[in-house]
Structure 1
Amino acid sequence: MKQITLALPYALPPAELAADLQRALQTPALAALLSRTGARHVQACDAGARVLPHESWLAVQLGLRAQPAAPADTDADASAPLAGAVLHGYGQPAQEGHWFIVHPIHVQMARTHLSLADPRALALADDDARVLFEAAQPYFAELGKELRYGDAGTWFLRADDWAGLATSSPDSASSMNLSDLMPEGPNAVAFRKLQNEIQMLWYEHPVNQARQARGLPPVNSFWIWGGAPAAAQPQTGSTGAAGALAVNAGPAWMMALARPALRDVALAELLQQGGAQATVVCAALIEPGIAGDWSQWLARMQQLEQDWFAPLLAALQTGRVGSATLILNHRGASAEFTTSKLAQRKFWHKHTLKNLLP
């Protein structure tokens, strides 16, 4: 029998909307999984952290950063040193150096500040991305920094002397005030200088002129995060999760953390993979959660009910899965629920979604 950990970033709704969203959901299997439990734990997270709770959690699961010292730890020092692991997942392992994940982005002007548009909405074609990459590459090389191409939205940067920079993930920065989330620390000025040069290079680039003519936002800057030594690779040691990490509907960098056979895999397929433990990140709620698109959030929760919650509940009831842990979070909180076949027999616990409430 397997032990399944199902991580659901942004499955916890914001406090001010939680009651209304909970009433709108028609997810009886999720209600059963959250109501009849053997253990539950709710933890506050630092809403101003440079990475989101699920990103920091992923780094812990993969053995890339230390487990928080105590269950009550708010994880204010949360980090996600994922670059080396993501680089490896793209089939481009490096033997040395300090690497960052790089995303071409669109920075937009809000009413009072600059903000980062969700990179998922950039719709950057591979041909256009390669042209912008090749235009920018000499600027990085002039500073002794290696820039590698992964795909249209995911590049990699070796910058050993920038190892001390504190960086923010793009999802933590999306729609936020960028002045609070730009890289800080040693060589931050050098980073900003290079960023400004690339911004000027791309400002009137033919690729961006053509994009704007098609009604698409220009690619006007780049974002770095996830800095880690090349040697920081996933481990299958104490957690046992890394070797069976599956990712569904995640951004490209997250998908690269899973083996190809475990990308967008269904529960039935996962159970056939063998092994005592499996960890799944279902990332479909991140985009609507960040955007505040709650009608889309509800629709995707209903799809998760069909694809994951109902099959998982059935697998618990038949004993095919021994126990399941669901981890739900948003920017400022994380909740963990563990259930089993025995726990599901607690008929005196009414099925309810009230555990989605703060």
Structure 2
Amino acid sequence: MPYNHGMAHITLVLPFALPIPEFAPDLVRALAPNAPALGALLSRTSSYARVAVDDTVRALPHEQWLARALGLLEAGRPALAAAAMRGRGIEPDGGTWFIVNPAHIEIARTHLLMADLRNIRLSEPDSRALFESARPYFEEAGHALAWGDAQTWFMRADDWAALDTATPDAAVGMDLTDWMPAGAHAAAFRRLQNEVQILWHSHPVNAEREARRLPPVNAFWLWGAADAARSRAPRAPALAAFDAAPWVDALADTPVTDLPAFVAGLDRDTILVCGSAAASAIGADWGIWIAQMGQLEAALFAPILKALLDNRVRSVSLVLSHRDAHAACTTNALAQRKFWRRPTLDRLL
């Protein structure tokens, strides 16, 4: 597609690209020699803000930001299910729908923990088998279950609309006591969860997974409630996704496989969610995190900076997050001429 020089604005949403405060000085020191373009984008800016998370919402800062940008924030909660369904070619037939993610929950010494959904590696045939086995249990409880993809299913539960749920990335690695669905219908959720857990405990899919040393899929995670009529704001920017969570893929207009080619073809205002740093940050594997941020320097930050300086994009915003805050800044070609501002990664601190 042809693009209009200088007309497009791109927002890079980078979950977990903001290092956690206790490790930030060492991580920034290690990353800095390999990220000059990121330093320029962060330092030579026309605006900058750091915003603490709204801890009344059980969603991470970048998830709240993205839901708001797309017009999918309802009473402070990401209301994503209906829009994600449409992204998977399903028209919700009225009522309230939730996102359902097959999950692995393990018993730690004193509490329950949910594994990072990125590490489950659930194939489509295995997911289909688990889906079909569980569907009668959902339907018997009065809840239609719809297939989206291997990681993403959808459930209708009109009377659960007020259930207070958490996003999976907000809950991962945390004591689940504080993150399970809460509210008037929480007990009904727990009953359904228990029935499905018993069903899946001896399911052939899990027997085979355990033989391959993969974590069993022994639970589901429920979140993202939205009225069927809820859709993205008409004037919301286009959404692109690279290495992102499945729900972002479901919402995205453009799946990205080649970042430099995506930047070269940018022709309209776009939000790009790039989740490459998420898994390593969630797993506290900081060596991998540094390596992945270095790869993004070559594949994304340097091409974006060059496009900006060549007047092929109008402006660039960055939204970087960790669990407790997000940092947002905007730069343009004029701001990049502020040569007296030495490019640094200090704004990651």
Q: What is the TM-score with the length of structure 2 in the denominator?
A: 0.94
Deviation at 1:264, TM superposition (A): 3.6
Residues 10-65 of structure 1: CA deviation (Å, up to 9, x unaligned): 11101010000001111000001111111111111145741111111111111122
Q: What letter matches 1:134 in structure 2?
A: E
Which residue does the alignment assign to 1:258?
252
Partners of 1:170 and 1:300 in 2: CA distance: 22
Q: Which moved more, 1:43-52 or 1:20-29?
A: 43-52
Partners of 1:184 and 1:148 in 2: CA distance: 23
Residues 214-237 of structure 1: CA deviation (Å, up to 9, x unaligned): 211111111110010111111232
> Quick one: structure 1 residues 17 and 47, their matched pair in 2 at CA, closer, same or farther if it must change by over 3 Å?
farther
Which residue does the alignment assign to 1:226?
224
Which residue does the alignment assign to 2:198?
200
Residues 98-139 of structure 1: CA deviation (Å, up to 9, x unaligned): 000101111011222100011111122222211111111111
Q: What letter matches 2:40 in structure 1?
A: A
Residues 293-323 of structure 1: CA deviation (Å, up to 9, x unaligned): 1111111101110111101111111111121
Partners of 2:163 and 2:275 in 1: CA distance: 27
* 1:16 partner SS: coil
Which residue does the alignment assign to 1:272?
265
Spell out the pairing of 1:28-177 with structure 2 (5 A cutoff).
28-46=36-54, 49-65=57-73, 78-177=76-175
**Residue 24 of structure 2 corresponds to residue 18 of structure 1:** yes
Partners of 2:149 and 2:91 in 1: CA distance: 15
Conservation of the 8 A alpha-carbon contact between 2:240 and 2:271: yes
Which residue does the alignment assign to 1:285?
277
Q: What letter matches 1:94 in structure 2?
A: P
Conservation of the 8 A alpha-carbon contact between 1:39 and 1:338: yes
Give the aligned CA root-mean-square deviation in angstroms: 1.5
Q: What letter matches 1:31 in structure 2?
A: G
Which residue does the alignment assign to 1:296?
288
Q: What letter matches 1:19 in structure 2?
A: P
Partners of 2:64 and 2:123 in 1: CA distance: 29
Partners of 2:307 and 2:63 in 1: CA distance: 28
Structure 2 runs not aligned, ≥5 long: 1-5
Conservation of the 8 A alpha-carbon contact between 2:263 and 2:303: no
* 1:15 partner SS: coil
Residues 135-155 of structure 1: CA deviation (Å, up to 9, x unaligned): 111111112210111222111
Which residue does the alignment assign to 1:73?
none
Partners of 1:106 and 1:192 in 2: CA distance: 16
Conservation of the 8 A alpha-carbon contact between 2:16 and 2:281: yes
Work out the number of aligned pairs and report it. Answer: 341
Structure 1 runs not aligned, ≥5 long: 67-76
Partners of 1:47 and 1:288 in 2: CA distance: 23
Partners of 1:95 and 1:129 in 2: CA distance: 23
> Quick one: structure 1 residues 128 and 160, their matched pair in 2 at CA, closer, same or farther if it must change by over 3 Å?
same
* 1:321 partner SS: coil
Conservation of the 8 A alpha-carbon contact between 2:14 and 2:318: yes
Q: Once the two structures are aligned, what percentage of the paired residues are identical?
A: 50
Conservation of the 8 A alpha-carbon contact between 1:325 and 1:338: yes
Residues 207-254 of structure 1: CA deviation (Å, up to 9, x unaligned): 2122212211111111110010111111232xx41xx11111112221
Q: What letter matches 1:133 in structure 2?
A: F
Which residue does the alignment assign to 1:338?
330
Conservation of the 8 A alpha-carbon contact between 1:98 and 1:160: yes
Partners of 1:82 and 1:49 in 2: CA distance: 14
Deviation at 1:288, TM superposition (A): 1.2
Q: What letter matches 1:109 in structure 2?
A: I
Q: What letter matches 1:250 in structure 2?
A: A
Q: What letter matches 2:97 in structure 1?
A: W
Deviation at 1:327, TM superposition (A): 1.0
Conservation of the 8 A alpha-carbon contact between 1:146 and 1:158: yes
Conservation of the 8 A alpha-carbon contact between 1:47 and 1:331: no
Partners of 1:140 and 1:294 in 2: CA distance: 40
Partners of 1:267 and 1:48 in 2: CA distance: 38
Which residue does the alignment assign to 1:309?
301
Q: What letter matches 1:246 in structure 2?
A: A
Which residue does the alignment assign to 1:74?
none
Which residue does the alignment assign to 2:3?
none
Partners of 2:266 and 2:347 in 1: CA distance: 31
Partners of 2:161 and 2:44 in 1: CA distance: 45
* 1:184 partner SS: coil
* 1:224 partner SS: strand
Partners of 1:48 and 1:297 in 2: CA distance: 29
